[in-house]
Copies of this chain bind each other. A is one copy, B any other.
């Protein structure tokens, strides 16, 4: 029950849903998310920790960067819930906007940012 509540609590915050919406398309590091969401590093990092702790994300350090991606084998509830997110998150207007910003950002990433 506690874990179930935790899973849902993680989904009940706008910034976290936007982060998940961006990670649908593949892993990203903290600095990517800072750039796209235009939020302070501590805010991004805190939400990522929260999502990882709730069982949604796994982080992997690669050099100086921490890359976060979805866990795809986190129990049947998590998997079924992930399917719902996969279907519906990309349709939310805020997520669509974020994704456009992500594409724009990726085009200029080599010159300006991490990675």
Contacts and interface: CB of A to CB of B under 8 A. Distances in A.
A4 B13 CA distance: 9
A113 interface: no
A56 to B, nearest CB: 12
Interface stretch (A27-35, A36-44, A57-65, A88-96): A88-96
A94 B95 CA distance: 35
Contacts of A5: 12-14, 17
A88 to B, nearest CB: 5
B92 A87 contact: no
Interface in A51-80: 76-77, 80
Interface string A5-32: 1001101111001000000000000000
A104 B2 CA distance: 25
A81 interface: yes
Interface of A: 1-2, 4-5, 8-9, 11-14, 17, 76-77, 80-81, 84, 87-88, 92-95
